[in-house]
Structure 1
Amino acid sequence: MIGTVTFDELAELMNARAGLSVDPQEMKSRPDATFADFELDSLGLLGIVAELEKRYGQPMGADAEGCKTPRAFLDTVNGTLAAAV
């Protein structure tokens, strides 16, 4: 069964794929802050999407790549994963 991507996992991916140190608790408290506020650019987000596609064996699509906030990203990714079950 496919789980859900959490703020903790997103922060871990931001570190691994974009070299950013982001506190997942800060993201949880500011889920509608933009990725730019966390210094994540579009290339970093693409790397995160690619890693999730590899990890879950499911394409995330252009919607995930276009998300501007952690909340929108997690909602999109988790919706995609739930639909694949």
Structure 2
Amino acid sequence: MSNTLNYPELAELIRARAGVEIDPVELERPGADFDEFGVDSLGLLGVVGELENRHGVKVTNGAESAKTPAEFLALVNSAVTAKAGA
């Protein structure tokens, strides 16, 4: 089992932590932007906090400021992967 975050998991975390329901397929769409889904940095901060608790790793500073789901996943997964390789 991989510790990396994927779009369905991200959609579930956003629903749980930001209260916004998003189809994971929409998150994967090229050019998808958190603003269009109504997810702000405060919502992403909740997602980051949950991920840090879950994985015991400090997620890269600035992940909560990511503009797109793809950018967010890249930042989070690089932090999780770096810890796994440590």
Q: Give the TM-score normalised by the residue count of structure 1.
A: 0.90
Compute the RMSD of aligned alpha carbons. 1.4
State the identity as a percent.
50
- Establish whether residue 13 from structure 1 lines up as the match of residue 13 from structure 2: yes
Shift in Å, 1:63: 2.7
Change (3 A) 1:79 1:48: same
> Counterparts of 1:49 and 1:15 in 2: how far apart (Å)?
13
TM-score (norm. length: structure 2) = 0.89
- Which structure would you say has the larger RCO, counting Cα contacts within 8 Å and 6 or more residues apart? 1
Q: CA deviation at 1:35?
A: 0.6
Is contact 2:32–2:69 with CA below 8 Å preserved after alignment? yes
Q: How much does 1:2 deviate? A: 5.4
Is the 1:35–1:68 Cα contact (8 Å) retained in structure 2?
yes
Q: 1:15 touches 1:21 (CA, 8 Å); kept in 2?
A: yes
**1:25-44 correspondence to structure 2 within 5 Å:** 25-28=25-28, 30-44=29-43
Runs (4+) of structure 1 exceeding 6 A deviation are none
Gaps of 5+ in 2: none
In 2, distance between residues paired with 1:52 and 1:31? 24
